[in-house]
Amino acid sequence: MAEIDGSCRVPLFLMFVSGAIWLVIASIFGLIASLKFHMPDLFANCAAMTYGRVHPVATNALIYGFGVQAGLGVALWVIARVGMTRAAQPWLIALGAKLWNFGLLVGVIGILAGDNTGFENLEIPRYGVVFLFLGYLLMAIFILATLHNRGERLLVPSQWFLLAALFWFPWIYFTANYLLLSHTPVRGITQAVIAWWYSGNLNLVWFGLVGLAVIFHFIRQLMNRPLYSRHLAAFTFWSIILFASWCGVPATAPVPAWIPSLSTVATVLTVVTALSVMVNIRKTCGTGCAQTENPAPGKFIAFGTMAFVVAWFLNALGAVPGVRSVTGLTWYGVGVWELNVFGFFTMTMIGAIYYIVPQVTGMQWPSVGSPKRHYWFALLGVLLIVAPLVIGGVVQGLNWRNVKMSDLDVAKNAVKFLRVTTIGEVFILLGNLMLLGNLIGLSVRYYKLHFVPVYKGALAEVKTAGVKP
């Protein structure tokens, strides 16, 4: 077991620490973006700091810097553990992660310089995308190799979910970026349809598959009991693949009616995914969760599960024709996105990180209570961000329909809700700084414990051999 964990140490360290750094960057930029609504003159003279460049940096750093990277790291660990096999070629996985980080860094600088592609979740310009894609391929190939090397041939639900996700991401990423950013891109509104398709598949399908895989695994890990029903997990799997892959196109889109109709039907149907997960987890947890001496990861993952169910319910609700005419193109969609990406996926991955890193390094976190403190900050932050956005979105939608209210008044009213959201962003930033601090503190202790004695010993050997150091 320790050997398996140890084999993952190098790539996981790199991915988690880089992920935490990107998470902090995302929170800082997210806070700046949020502040600009209340202080329009902030950085008004700086082109790189305009809202339209700061906002995509925040979302891309969150999604690609932390989301996909930490997701792949946790996936590697889960696959290695469940398959009872060492990670395959950990140094190559680490190289893939370095390529990924390089591509994202180059892309983020490009966005700040004005090379924003304009498509949501796809803002990284072409020169960054190439490195991101190559890095992903490197990481995914060896994670799949780890899966291939497994001892027990029968697959558990977590493995099906991760397998599907690992294959699906390169397909959607390559398709979207090639068709939109190559030298002969598709023309006209087709660009927007493809961008929406990619966005829905990334946020719902990919994050859903990976996040649920991690949740299913940790329920067994932390509570030492199996998932209630494999059949229900299969039902969840197929419902995500069949329905959630068609979500993403808003009903108001300027495209022929069949495209948004199919997307609307699919989005409403994703409610069965949320229901199936709810039933499965409720029946598994039954009479409450077992207590462990390290409750923080469990808290994060429990919150992540609840956030998943609520986010997918709200998403499906937002597509119902009567509701959508109010909530379409408002802050409601942004709130649901935040709940899904941050409340569900990021919190789940943070919980996984708080569990995995001690396992993999054999050390404890520098401050015992810190993960729990982080949890409360993050919980408060998510609630303060999501609730005003969802409620504010509904109010904003009603106001847009009220023709007597001028455009300016509607915008000003919506911004009142954003004041609460900005406070939430501050809490999230503090929590993420805690994560980074914990990771850096632990790595310093690891270094002191493992490398310093080796270094001192080598130095002593050299001295006794009479060679001047």
Partner 1 sequence: MKSSTNQPVSNAPQDLGAKDPVVPVWLIVVCFLLLYWGAVYFDERGGWFSTQVYTPYVSTEQLNTIAAMQGPPDPRVLGAQVYGRTCIACHQGNAMGTPGTFPPLAGSDWVNEKEAGRMIRIVLHGFGGPGLVVKGQPFSTASVMTAFGSPPLVGLTDEEIAAVITYVRGNTEWGNHAAPVTPEQVKAIRDKTSSHSQSYTPAEIMTVNPAD
Partner 2 sequence: MRHGPLVFLAAFFALSASWFGFVLTPQVQLGRSVQETNSVMKAELYPNDRPGNARQGLEIYRANGCVYCHSQQVQQNGMLVNVVLTDAGKNTMAVADLLNEEHLGNFSGPSVGAGLPKTILTNASIDVATVLAKNVKTAGGVTQLRLVPVGPDIERGWGTRLTVAQDFVADATALPGSLRVGPDLANEGGRHRDLNWQYVHLYNPGAVTPKSPMPAYKFLFEQKKIGKQASPDALQLTGELKPAAGYEIVPKAEAKALVAYLVSLNSDTPLFEAPLTPPAPAKSTNAPAK
Please give the size of the binding site for partner 1, defined by CB under 8 A.
Answer: 51
Task: Please enumerate in sequence order all residues whose Cβ is within 8 A of that of 120, keeping only pairs 6 or more positions apart, or say none.
Answer: 56, 59, 195, 199
**Residue 42 one-letter amino acid:** L
One of 34, 276, 396, 399 touching partner 1 (CB under 8 A)? 276
From candidates 240, 268, 360, 418, binder to partner 1 by CB under 8 A: 268
269 contributes a contact to partner 1 by CB under 8 A: yes
By a kind-dependent CB cut-off of 5 to 8 A, residue 1 interacts, out of partner 2, partner 1, none, with partner 1
Of residues 59, 85, 117, 264, which one binds partner 1 by CB under 8 A? 264
Of 110 and 351, the one with the shorter C-beta distance to partner 1 is 351
Closest approach of partner 1 to the CB of residue 71, in Å: 19
Query: Does the protein bind partner 1 through residue 223 (CB under 8 A)?
Result: yes
CA distance 43 to 50: 7
Q: Who contacts 208 (Cβ-Cβ below 8 Å, separation ≥6)?
A: 240, 244, 273, 308, 312
| 231 counts as binding partner 1 under rule CB under 8 A | yes
Per-residue binding letters, 355-394, with partner 1 (x by CB under 8 A) = x---x-----------------------------------
Residue 117 touches which of partner 1, partner 2, none (Cβ within 5-8 Å per kind): partner 2
CB of 331 to partner 2, least distance (A): 7
For position 256 contacting partner 1 by CB under 8 A, the verdict is yes
Shortest spacing between CB 257 and partner 1, in angstroms: 4
Establish if 469 lies at the interface with partner 1 (CB under 8 A): no
Q: Does 230 bind partner 1 (CB under 8 A)?
A: yes
- The option from partner 2, partner 1, none interacting with 8 (CB < 5 to 8 A, set by class) reads none
With contacts defined by CB under 8 A, name the span among 203-211, 219-227, 299-307, 339-347 that binds partner 1. Answer: 219-227
Sign of CA dihedral 28, 315, 16, 381: positive
List, in order, residues 6 or more apart from 433 with CB less than 8 Å away.
Answer: 24, 27
Binders in 60-89 for partner 1, by CB under 8 A = 81-82, 84
User: In 10 A of CB 186, how many CB atoms?
Assistant: 14
Name which of 137 and 269 has its Cβ closer to partner 1: 269
- Is there binding between residue 257 and partner 1 (CB under 8 A)? yes
Please report how close the Cβ of residue 42 comes to partner 2 at its closest, in angstroms.
Answer: 7
Amino acid sitting at position 439: L
Residue 294 touches partner 1, criterion: CB under 8 A: yes
Q: What angle do CA 165, 171, 176 make, to 5 degrees?
A: 120
Instruction: Identify which of residues 269 and 430 has a Cβ nearer to partner 1 in the complex.
Output: 269
Helical axes 207-223 vs 230-242, angle rounded to 10°: 170
271 near 284, Cβ under 8 Å? no
CB of 117 to partner 2, least distance (A): 7
Closest CA relative to residue 165, chosen from 217, 209, 200, 100: 209
- Does residue 188 touch partner 1 according to CB under 8 A? no
Show the tokens assigned to 128: 């960054």
Tokens of 234: 């299969």
Where would I find the beta strands (DSSP E) of 138-251? Answer: none
What three-state secondary structure class fits 304?
helix
Question: Is the CB of residue 77 less than 8 Å from the CB of residue 90?
Answer: no
| Shortest separation between residue 272's beta carbon and partner 2, angstroms | 15
Spell out the residues 6+ positions from residue 170 whose beta carbon is closer than 8 angstroms to its own: 133, 136, 137, 140
Q: Which lies closer to partner 2 via its Cβ, residue 242 or residue 452? A: 242
Answer yes or no whether residue 154 interacts with partner 1 by CB under 8 A. yes
Residue 446, burial from CB neighbour count under 10 angstroms (0-12, 13-18, 19+) = middle
Smallest CA-to-CA distance from 196 within 114, 156, 251, 151 is with: 251
- In terms of Cα–Cα distance, which of 294, 386, 288, 307 is closest to 347? 307
* Site residues (vs partner 1, CB under 8 A): 1, 81-82, 84, 152, 154-156, 217, 220-224, 226, 228-232, 235, 239, 251-252, 254-258, 260-262, 264-266, 268-269, 271-272, 275-276, 279, 283, 290-294, 321, 355, 359
